[in-house]
A and B are shown apart, each in its own frame.
Chain A
Amino acid sequence: MRAYVPGYDLRVAPNLSEALALLAREPGTWQPFAGGTDLMVLLEAEKLAHKRFLSVSKLAELRGIVVTADAVTMGALTTYTQVQNHPILQAEFPLVCSAARETGSIATQNRGTLGGNIVNASPAADSPPALLVYDAEIELVSARGARWLPYHGFHTGYKKMLLAPDELLRLIRLPRRAKPWRQYYRKVGTRKAQAISKVCIAGAAQMEAGTIRDVRIALGSIAPIVLRAVKTEDVLRGAKLAPETMAAAKETLSREISPIDDIRSTARYRLRVAQNLLEEFLSQLGR
């Protein structure tokens, strides 16, 4: 059953300062609208509760990918297609490219944006695990000014985040690493193409003579937010890559995540698969 379309307002912000002025004047009234690949689905299902939307699609300040010596900075409107096609992202941030390639269909990837994937705040979103592994930082702007935050910690609960009603997400910055990390991304869904994940994991590790020097692990669809598995990382950091390490990490992971039964999967399946994916990631470090 489709929602009553004349009851929804959608305006296109002509430039960033006007967009921020409107959000400041009427905070909470206007919800940002980017690619629409999530919001239009809710509209169709008559589940789009909010009534007034501000399209940010014409804001040049939210577009483009800028590469500097120490970071790659992407505008919030960067589409999944643009992510996949970018040579530096391909070479240095393959997990973000994998995530973009596994998000929806090509038609969705042409419209959907990284910024939308973040502020839509779905715990099943595909790009946040990759962004967490790369220690992404995000810039929020409002008429009051701009502030940078680590992306880790931005989501505070189911669909809750540190975004004030008058703020827009403008930029996503990935620090460039000096040393190559071993990297792993895997999404498990009902089928290979354009499924929403049952479990998704991104991992990166630096190895030194059989020892895990440093490691980062993040998972989707296993908690109210996309989770950086810091306790599991602590178990692995500095440890020898041995069966006992693997078992301890899987045990810790099982206590760190809180999967649930829902329309797409069960808590039991998600826990088992999350542990298996962790094992697959760690096994590949030994090769």
Chain B
Amino acid sequence: MVEIVSKIGIECTVNGKLSCFHAYPMARLLDILREELKLTGTKEGCGEGECGACAVLMNGAIVNSCLVPAIETDGADIRTIEGIASGAQLHAVQEAFLECGGAQCGMCTPGMVIAAVALIERHPHPADAEIREGLAGNLCRCTGYQKIFAAVVRACEPADRPHSGKR
């Protein structure tokens, strides 16, 4: 017989707003976001920490939300893809993905954008190798990697400079 544990109360900040919810302690942050908080921008790809589709920022660091149990988010600051734009103003990474065609089916895109934002927050002027390393945890099954790479390059250029195209 499986013993059933009780749900626990959890409070964390999600995209700048305090969120309170009840969850099983081992429930995945990914499911909390999508099913409790209705933030369906975060996608489930592999569910085992390989593909990066479910990436979010937790206390400023990129994590795979499929590997974070609910109880560990108590008191944490979570940023999802829904929290990357400022109102109607897209983030430079999002603008660059649009401009460079950095999305095909779109499944990997939220995670790719999160990974790019996390990279640029660590390295505002990343070298090519740093961009590759920064995106290495995110898989794109449409294999649109070159355009995604170009979008990250573009996002790091000054806004007023014309698009330099592919490197």
Q: Which residues of A contact B (CB under 8 A)?
A: 2, 4-12, 33, 36-37, 40-41, 43-45, 51, 53, 55, 57, 81, 104-108, 110-111, 192-194
- Residues of B within 8 Å of A, CB-based: how many? 34
* List of 10 A-B pairs having minimum Cβ-Cβ separation, nearest first: A105-B137, A193-B136, A10-B25, A8-B26, A7-B2, A40-B67, A110-B61, A41-B48, A107-B64, A9-B5
> CA of A23 to CA of B136 in the docked complex: distance in angstroms?
39
Whether A36 contacts B67 in the complex (CB less than 8 A), given A81-B61, A107-B55, comes out as: yes
> CA of A40 to CA of B63 in the docked complex: distance in angstroms?
13
Q: Please determine whether A4 and B2 come into contact, CB atoms closer than 8 angstroms.
A: yes
Whether A55 contacts B71 in the complex (CB less than 8 A), given A2-B47, A194-B136, A194-B137, comes out as: yes
Whether A40 contacts B3 in the complex (CB less than 8 A), given A2-B47, A106-B133, A193-B137, comes out as: no
Residues of A within 8 A of B148 (CB): none
Q: Please determine whether A10 and B48 come into contact, CB atoms closer than 8 angstroms.
A: no
Residues of A within 8 A of B27 (CB): 5
Residues of B within 8 A of A45 (CB): 48
Q: Please determine whether B72 and A44 come into contact, CB atoms closer than 8 angstroms.
A: no
B110 within 8 A of A: no
28 A-B residue pairings within 8 Å (CB atoms): A6-B2, A6-B24, A7-B2, A7-B3, A33-B69, A36-B72, A37-B49, A40-B28, A40-B67, A41-B48, A41-B49, A44-B47, A51-B2, A55-B71, A105-B49, A105-B64, A106-B134, A107-B55, A107-B63, A107-B115, A108-B49, A108-B64, A110-B61, A110-B63, A111-B63, A111-B68, A193-B136, A194-B137
B120 within 8 A of A: no
* B148 to A: closest C-beta gap in Å: 14
> CA of A104 to CA of B137 in the docked complex: distance in angstroms?
8
B82 within 8 A of A: no
Residues of B within 8 A of A5 (CB): 24, 26-28
> CA of A53 to CA of B137 in the docked complex: distance in angstroms?
27
Within 8 A of A (CB), among B61-101: 61-64, 66-69, 71-72, 74
Q: Please determine whether B69 and A51 come into contact, CB atoms closer than 8 angstroms.
A: no
Smallest Cβ-Cβ distance to A2: which chain B residue = B47
* B121 to A: closest C-beta gap in Å: 12
* A155 to B: closest C-beta gap in Å: 24
Residues of A within 8 A of B12 (CB): none
Whether A108 contacts B137 in the complex (CB less than 8 A), given A11-B25, A55-B71, comes out as: yes
> CA of A192 to CA of B63 in the docked complex: distance in angstroms?
20
> CA of A107 to CA of B47 in the docked complex: distance in angstroms?
14
* A124 to B: closest C-beta gap in Å: 15
Q: Please determine whether A110 and B26 come into contact, CB atoms closer than 8 angstroms.
A: no
Residues of B within 8 A of A9 (CB): 3, 5, 25-26
Q: Please determine whether A40 and B5 come into contact, CB atoms closer than 8 angstroms.
A: no
Smallest Cβ-Cβ distance to B61: which chain A residue = A110
Whether A44 contacts B137 in the complex (CB less than 8 A), given A5-B26, A6-B5, A111-B68, comes out as: no
Smallest Cβ-Cβ distance to B25: which chain A residue = A10
**Contacts A41-B67, A55-B72 supplied; 6 other A-B pairs, CB < 8 Å:** A10-B25, A36-B68, A104-B137, A105-B64, A106-B62, A110-B61
